[in-house]
């Protein structure tokens, strides 16, 4: 292939599934459909929320399309662009390098290290940062000295759910979880109505001077961002510990530094770590491997991060085992997934109820809810500890990247001879 032919190649974008507004008919796309991309050269497909899609063009413009109805939050977060991809209304001088979308909000990072977010108002931060150090993460007052009691509304610890045996979650727990989700959703929907709960205009997030963000992640109602020096900041809903601040903070309305390493403890599967000689019986007192965070992921109500040494930490809702601790407890602080110690993890993704990791060797480990087969284990049983996927389809392949939807998982493998 000569140079002219190489230049003639263009990056194409395909999509499939349920995406209202992508085509005139409001039915799921059962096969890949090529997106009309006139005038755009695609750099990355960053995913979309409920009913719309997002991509980043070569010049760094955020492109959105999809949901044209007015029946939900996607109408606002998508930019109301319908089936034709169009630039999202960010400032003209902004160049986007990373973007993520969740059920009700979006977040994007620029090449200058700034962060924009929009969508459901409770996901949008307000005020200034008032926790500059790892020890200053307790939200007591905002930058203007006003009492920040609205930030620290505590949720009573949920009643303990019964532990399942054999690494699975029982049907009773699933029913309990569904009731909780329905109740939470109903409360959110009845607390406000219409545009009162949405903001279409992107908000520039205020962070400490000098903080430069390089990556972003959006969860069900919370957001994490990663700085160029490996610090993690978070805001939004934290009732299950998904903000990693050590307590059930219902709502955090300003970005807070999350103590991912210094204040973290090893996970609860102590025996697995002991067998690898990586910790003593007082393992809770040992430092997490690594000095900074290299990757972040948000699930529905849990979060996961990877240190520069390849250790995985998870925190938040644990009802399905999505924190990988061998139990169904919530983890209120970043907690090392100790059964993965000794394996260098390089990639992590999180769905509504599950977490998936990839190793430097190209292996895949999955844990959490599995009602729809999203773990890829060959069954629909949940896994409360990371499980190596050893299915035939992954034999002799090296997984390069991983992505989780609410109820599914997708991955990309290396090409022939290890090429992308």
Residue 397 lies in a domain: no
For residue 9, name the pLDDT band (cuts at 50, 70, 90). Answer: low
Residue 127 lies in a domain: no
Burial (CB count <10 Å: 0-12, 13-18, 19+), residue 405: middle
CA dihedral for 249, 255, 256, 257, sign (positive or negative): positive
Q: Of residues 313 and 408, which shows the higher confidence score?
A: 313
Q: Say if CB 322 and CB 367 are below 8 A apart.
A: yes
- DSSP-assigned states of every residue in 222-273: EEEEEETTS-EEEEEEETTSTT-SSS-EEEEEEEEEE--STT-B--S-HHHH
d(CA 252, CA 154): 11
Strand-pairing partners, residue 102, are none
Query: Beta strand pairing status for 96-101 and 82-87?
Result: unpaired
DSSP state of 110: E
Residue 48 lies in a domain: yes
d(CA 365, CA 362): 10
The arithmetic mean of pLDDT across residues 244-270, rounded, is 79
Q: What is the pLDDT of residue 350?
A: 96
- Tally the domains of the chain: 1
Q: Of residues 55 and 214, which shows the higher confidence score?
A: 214
The residue range of the domain holding 7 is 3-89
d(CA 325, CA 328): 8
Q: Say if CB 63 and CB 54 are below 8 A apart.
A: yes
Q: What is the pLDDT of residue 383?
A: 97
Of the ranges 24-38, 177-191, 215-229, 378-392, which one carries the lowest mean pLDDT score? 177-191
Q: Say if CB 285 and CB 259 are below 8 A apart.
A: no
DSSP state of 369: -
In this predicted structure, the answer to whether residue 45 has a pLDDT above a threshold of 60 is yes
Q: Say if CB 206 and CB 125 are below 8 A apart.
A: yes
Of the ranges 74-83, 202-211, 374-383, which one carries the lowest mean pLDDT score? 74-83
Helix, strand or coil for residue 292? coil
In this predicted structure, the answer to whether residue 14 has a pLDDT above a threshold of 80 is no
The arithmetic mean of pLDDT across residues 212-222, rounded, is 96
Of the ranges 114-118, 156-160, 185-189, which one carries the lowest mean pLDDT score? 156-160
- DSSP-assigned states of every residue in 132-185: -STT-----B-TTS-B-GGG-PBPPPPPPPPPPSTT---HHHHHHHHHHHHHHH
Per-residue burial over 295-304, b if 16 or more Cβ lie within 10 Å, else e, is bbbbbbbbbb
Q: What is the pLDDT of residue 395?
A: 76
Among 27-41, 118-132, 284-298, 320-334, which range has the highest average pLDDT? Answer: 320-334
Helix, strand or coil for residue 358? strand
Of the ranges 169-178, 191-200, 336-345, which one carries the lowest mean pLDDT score? 169-178
Q: CA dihedral in degrees (77, 82, 86, 90; nearest 10)?
A: -20
Q: Say if CB 301 and CB 355 are below 8 A apart.
A: no
Residue 27 lies in a domain: yes
Q: Say if CB 241 and CB 249 are below 8 A apart.
A: no
Of the ranges 115-129, 157-171, 290-304, which one carries the lowest mean pLDDT score? 157-171
In this predicted structure, the answer to whether residue 369 has a pLDDT above a threshold of 50 is yes
d(CA 391, CA 365): 12
In this predicted structure, the answer to whether residue 150 has a pLDDT above a threshold of 80 is no
The model carries a pTM of 0.76
What region, left, alpha or beta, does residue 246 occupy, with left being phi > 0 and alpha being psi -120 to 50 degrees? left
Residue 64 lies in a domain: yes
Q: Which of 28-36's residues contact partners 24+ apart within 8 Å by CB, and which partners? A: 35/65, 35/85, 36/83, 36/84, 36/85
Residue 76 lies in a domain: yes
Helix, strand or coil for residue 338? helix
d(CA 348, CA 42): 24
In this predicted structure, the answer to whether residue 379 has a pLDDT above a threshold of 80 is yes
- Residues with Cβ within 8 Å of 210's Cβ and at least 6 positions away in sequence, in order, are none
d(CA 330, CA 111): 35
Q: Of residues 298 and 419, which shows the higher confidence score?
A: 298
Q: What is the pLDDT of residue 414?
A: 77
Of the ranges 16-30, 336-350, 365-379, which one carries the lowest mean pLDDT score? 16-30
Span 384-403, pLDDT tens digits: 999 999 877 777 778 888 89
For residue 156, name the pLDDT band (cuts at 50, 70, 90). Answer: very low
For residue 296, name the pLDDT band (cuts at 50, 70, 90). Answer: very high
Residue 157 lies in a domain: no
The arithmetic mean of pLDDT across residues 163-181, rounded, is 37
Residue 201 lies in a domain: no
DSSP state of 265: B
d(CA 357, CA 336): 13
Q: What is the pLDDT of residue 264?
A: 52
Average pLDDT, whole number, for the chain? 74
Q: What is the pLDDT of residue 76?
A: 58
| H/E element, 7 | helix 3-8
Q: How far is CA 249 from CA 28, 38, 212, 243, 408, in A?
A: 38, 46, 26, 8, 29
For residue 81, name the pLDDT band (cuts at 50, 70, 90). Answer: low
Q: Which of 146, 245, 255 is nearest to 207 (CA)?
A: 255
Q: What is the pLDDT of residue 340?
A: 97
Q: What is the pLDDT of residue 142?
A: 34
Q: What is the pLDDT of residue 33?
A: 75
Q: Of residues 11 and 185, which shows the higher confidence score?
A: 11
């Amino acid at each position: 292939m000569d140079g002219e032919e190489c230049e003639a190649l263009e990056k194409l974008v395909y999509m499939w599934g349920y995406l209202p507004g992508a085509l005139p008919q409001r039915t799921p796309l059962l096969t890949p459909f090529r997106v009309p991309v006139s005038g755009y050269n695609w750099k990355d497909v960053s995913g979309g929320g409920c009913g719309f899609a997002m991509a980043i063009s070569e010049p760094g413009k955020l492109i959105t399309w999809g949901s044209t109805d007015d029946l939900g939050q996607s109408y606002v977060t998508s930019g109301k662009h319908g089936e034709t991809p169009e630039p999202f209304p960010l400032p003209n001088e902004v160049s986007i390098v990373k973007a993520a979308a969740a059920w009700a909000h979006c977040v994007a990072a620029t090449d200058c290290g700034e962060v924009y977010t929009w969508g459901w108002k409770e996901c949008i931060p307000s005020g200034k940062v008032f926790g500059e150090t790892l020890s200053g993460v307790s939200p007591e007052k905002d930058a203007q000295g006003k009492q920040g009691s609205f930030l620290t509304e505590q949720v009573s610890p949920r009643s303990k759910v019964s532990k399942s045996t054999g690494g699975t979650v029982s049907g009773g727990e699933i029913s309990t979880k569904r009731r909780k989700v329905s109740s939470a959703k109903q409360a959110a929907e009845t607390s406000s109505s219409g545009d009162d709960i949405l903001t279409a205009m992107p908000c520039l997030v205020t962070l400490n001077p000098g903080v430069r963000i390089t990556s972003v992640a959006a969860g069900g109602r919370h957001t994490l961002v990663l700085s160029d020096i490996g610090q993690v900041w978070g805001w939004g809903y934290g009732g299950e510990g998904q903000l990693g601040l050590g307590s059930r903070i219902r709502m955090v309305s300003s970005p807070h530094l999350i103590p991912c390493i210094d204040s973290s403890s090893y996970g609860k599967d102590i025996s697995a770590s002991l067998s690898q000689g990586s910790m003593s019986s007082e393992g809770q007192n040992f430092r997490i491997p690594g000095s900074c965070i290299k990757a972040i992921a948000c699930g529905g109500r849990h979060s996961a991060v990877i240190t520069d040494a390849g250790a995985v930490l998870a925190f938040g809702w644990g009802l399905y085992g999505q924190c990988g601790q061998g139990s169904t407890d919530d983890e209120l602080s970043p907690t090392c997934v100790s059964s993965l110690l000794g394996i260098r993890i390089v990639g992590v993704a999180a769905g509504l109820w599950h977490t998936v990791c990839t190793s430097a060797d190209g292996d895949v480990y999955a844990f959490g809810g599995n009602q729809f087969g999203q773990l890829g284990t060959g069954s629909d049983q949940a896994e409360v500890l990371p499980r190596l996927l050893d299915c035939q389809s992954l034999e002799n392949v090296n997984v390069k990247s991983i992505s989780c939807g609410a109820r599914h998982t997708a991955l990309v493998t290396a090409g022939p001879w290890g090429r992308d």
